Amino acid sequence: MASVTLDDVTKRYGEVVAVDHMSLAVEDGELMVLLGPSGCGKTTALRMIAGLEDATEGTIRIGDRVVNDVEPRHRDVSMVFQNYALYPHLTVEKNIASPLLAREMHVDGEDGAVRKLSRTERKERVNDVARLLGLESLLARKPSALSGGQRQRVALARAIVARPKVFLMDEPLSNLDAKLRVQTRGEIVDLHQRLGTTIIYVTHDQVEALTMANRIALIEAGRLQQVGDPQSVYDRPANLFVARFLGTPPMNTVEGTITTTGGLGVRIGGVTVSLPPTPGDSRTNDGKTEARASASVGRIEQGRPVVLGIRSEHLQMLGGAMQEGGSSEAAQVASGFEPLLTGTVAHVEWLGHESLVTVAIGSGPPGARDGGTGSGAGSSVAITSSMPTDAVIGTGDSEGGDVPGSRTTIEVRLGADEQSPRAGATVTLFADPRHLHLFDLASGQRLAWDTHLQAAASR
Amino acid sequence: MSAVPASRTQVHHVARRARTAGWYLLLTALAVIILFPIYMMVVRALSTPVTYFGRGSPLYPVDVEWGVFRAAWDEGGIGRSMGVSTVATLLMTGGQVVTAILAAYAFAFLRFPLRRLVFVLFIGTLMLPIEVTLIPNVQTMRDLHWLNSFPGLVGPFLASALGTFLIHQGFRAIPTELLDAASLDGYGHMRFLTRVAVPLSKPVIASFTVIAFLGAWNQFIWPEAVSTETHWQTVQIGVAALSATTPDHSNIAFAGAIVASLPLVVLLVAFQRQLVRGLTAGAVKG
């Protein structure tokens, strides 16, 4: 077991920068997930740790040893590949045994000594691992006679049998069907708990990352965006990329400008959404998360272009079929939160345990009540998505609303017991202000407004 | 069901059968054209030349004489030259297969400067007919005092651009993850080559082995050039020499040709699949 440290590591292929000055410390025994869209450099980072690619710059350490110039086989790591990479002409038994044939191993009871294993020792280890993964009955088969899940298990067995310091897993579940993926996910977590070995796990699947990881490292365009435990990266995304990449559906984002008249708020179209103090935001820098601090982003000041983010599950909705009283005061009382925006229900997706309601902002009939702090002029909130996509980082993964000229849509998640509105109904959206996220439009960085609030208020 | 579609189906059916029959007719004709000379070779070998010509060269054997094969083997020297051919062919085939595997591995799995250029140049030698290199090569053999020897017969044919190309294609079909997995498993290049690359490329290697064997056995110009003594004649030279004798003994020459081609017939029957696969290579293995 060992820690893995990347120190300012860069990988270039000619002009292309695959990994850009990445520094990452994976702790001993940790399950670290490298998460990002395809082509973001996460696999390249993994392959550099394995020794299959050379780092152009920077230092890679496994434990205390700098391994930049160490051959893959001497790094004491095992890797599980996306396509399993089993030797098709060898039986399961020989596939599992293959790392034992050529590599020198630590042997039980022989302190620190490394040597090749004897035939009986190899057989013993293969049998142990086969038992651990339930492969005993398959040992004599060739990989072609196995199902996808069984092949994946053989690949895992081959990685485990060498008892490496670090497991590297490159999207190991992506070739399995959905059900098997969930099952194998659990098995890997279980294995990690039993073996206690450091695992670095690459995936583009945020569900895998959130469910399996001790910590997640989010990567985009070769750069590390944020590192933290699943909850902290989900709750406190460091920038727009992370905010939009994590969560299904992605976080709703709406462009606006900062206003400081009558308290801090964001002006979106004709309405102002007020930003009350958020005591929780100081958690950003508590050491658990390594979110890039917002200090460098600058001051929150009047007129500054920002992006307001809110997750679908943090929105509540009144209006349409549900609206009885029709007054926003009643709605406010009902939800306990401040009205945020008004819009028209575009469509409703019923998923059984929940419903996803897509609300088109700004398509409500004239005169619909807008929320806010009273500064609203009574017009409907008209936000055409004028967001220049190149000005906002990480827009590629947000769904809907980013096409120039289209309307901004917001997704709202309703519980199974909540009544869904009809399509076309006018609704008002409410949110607990503590769940509002604010990002700088130009840089995409998270803005922690509570620290700026006092300054703004004391002016 | 109405009658119209039924009759249409029938028409369709008949048309298809007619087309199939047409193809078979064409293929049969082609087969006859190809097999006829071979048949005539057997007829001429079995017939005593004088009687045969006296009967006006019929399409069937006359005055059959089975001893002609023995005569070709012993007096005709086919037995001895077949020995030379067998040894030379095995050396050439073995040499080509081994060097082609090693070269193909280098081109497929190693990274070195100018790899693509070297590969193209290497494969480009396929375009050179043997006549171009014949004179300088013979001169080299003479300088090395390798005329009339096995090194002289096989030396220039221990490497093969065709084999390198075919096996290279086979190696390229091996997923790169296997190389990655193997390097993490601690395999060096030699171990990866022998334990993974070669076993996975068996079909192409088998195909090339058959092709190399055929080529080596059928060589004519080169052994003719480097074996000036009868003792070092290969079987193809031996057959040619026999056919140059008097027409009275032409049956012995034909018998020699039949004997000389027997190993190839056996090979073709046994390795038909590999041969066809080799000729359609490139699409090797799934």
A85·B180 Cβ contact <8 A:
yes
Is A85 close to B188, i.e. CB distance below 8 A? Answer: no
Together in a domain, B8 and B102: no
Residues 6+ positions from A130 with CB-CB distance below 8 Å: A92, A93, A96, A136, A138, A139, A157
Cα A243 from Cα A445, distance rounded (Å): 10
Residues B123 and B213 in one domain: yes
Q: Do B184 and A87 touch (CB under 8 A)?
A: no
Q: Tokens for B45?
A: 């070998």
Q: What is the distance in angstroms between the Cα of A75 and the nearest Cα belonging to chain B? A: 9
CA atoms within 13 A on the CB side of A161: 35
**What secondary structure does DSSP assign to B192-245, as a single string?**
HIIIIIHHHTHHHHHHHHHHHHHHHHT--HHHHHH--SGGG--HHHHHHHHHTS
A163 half-sphere exposure, CB direction, 13 A CA radius: 13
Cβ separation of B177 and A72 shorter than 8 Å? no
Clarify whether residues A281 and A150 are in a common domain: no
pLDDT in tens, A341-362: 788 888 888 888 888 888 887 6
B239: CATH:
1.10.3720.10
Q: Residue B41: exposed, middle, or buried by beta-carbon count in 10 A (0-12, 13-18, 19+)?
A: middle
Going by DSSP bridges, is the β-strand pair A252-259/A223-228 parallel, antiparallel, or unpaired? Answer: unpaired
Average pLDDT over residues B189-209: 88
- Closest chain B CA to residue A84: B177
Give the ipTM: 0.72
Shortest Cα distance, chain A CAs vs residue B107, angstroms: 19
Within 10 angstroms of residue A76's Cβ, the number of other Cβ atoms is: 22
Count of structural domains, chain A: 2
Residues B96 and B9 in one domain: no
> Measured between beta carbons, which residues in chain A are less than 8 angstroms from residue B178?
85, 87
At residue A34, does pLDDT exceed 90? yes
* Res. A12: pLDDT tops 80: yes
What is the domain extent for residue A189? 4-235
Residue A14 CA to residue A35 CA, distance in Å, equals 25
Q: Is the dihedral of CA B189, B190, B191, B197 positive or negative?
A: positive
Note whether A166 and A184 are same-domain residues: yes
Q: Is residue B270 part of a domain?
A: yes
Q: In what order do the strands lie in the sheet with A31-35?
A: A77-80, A166-170, A198-203, A31-35, A215-220, A223-228
B191 → chain A, closest CA residue: A102
B33 and B144 assigned to the same domain: no
Domain count across chain B: 2
Tens digits of residue pLDDT in A50-78 = 999 888 999 999 988 999 988 888 888 99
Among A235, A269, A299, the domain boundary falls at A235
Interface of B with A (CB under 8 A): 175, 177-178, 180-188, 191, 195-196, 199-200
Strands A57-62 and A437-440: unpaired
Tell me if B178 and A103 make a contact (CB, 8 A cut-off).
no
> According to the model, what pLDDT value does residue A110 have?
61
Task: Tell me, yes or no, whether A335 and A371 share the same domain.
Answer: yes
**In this structure, what token pair is assigned to residue A350?**
């019923």
Q: What does the angle CA A299 – CA A304 – CA A308 come to, to the nearest 5 degrees?
A: 100
Domain for residue B42, yes or no? Answer: yes
A73 with B191: Cβ contact below 8 A: no
Collapsing DSSP states into helix, strand and coil, what is residue B36?
helix
Ranking A385-394, A440-449, B125-134 by mean pLDDT, the lowest is A385-394
CB A382 within 8 A of CB A267: no
- Residue B150's contacts (CB-CB under 8 Å, 6 or more residues apart) are B87, B88, B91
Q: Is B142 domain-assigned? A: yes
Q: Are A254 and A175 in the same domain?
A: no
**Sign of the C-alpha dihedral computed for residues A440, A443, A444 and A450 taken in this order:** negative
Question: CATH code at A151?
Answer: 3.40.50.300
Out of B177, B182, B184, the one facing A78 most closely (by C-beta) is B184
Q: Are residues B43 and B133 part of one domain?
A: no
- Same domain? For B89 and B203 the reply is yes
Q: Which of these three, A200, A235, A270, is where a domain ends?
A: A235
Task: Give B32's pLDDT tier (boundaries 50, 70, 90).
Answer: very high
Domain boundary among A188, A215, A235: A235
Per-chain mean pLDDT for chain A: 77
Q: At what angle do helices B161-172 and B78-109 cross, to 10 degrees?
A: 40
Nearest neighbour of B185 by CB, restricted to A51, A52, A103: A103
Q: Give the pLDDT confidence of A150-175 residue by residue, as tens digits.
A: 888 899 899 988 888 899 999 988 88
Q: Are residues B19 and B115 in the same domain?
A: no
pLDDT (0 to 100) of residue B5: 57
Burial (CB count <10 Å: 0-12, 13-18, 19+), residue A196 = exposed
Residues of A in contact with B174 (CB under 8 A): none
Residues 6+ apart with CB under 8 A from A71: A51, B183
Which domain covers residue B43, as residue numbers? 3-54
- A50–B180 CB contact, under 8 Å: yes
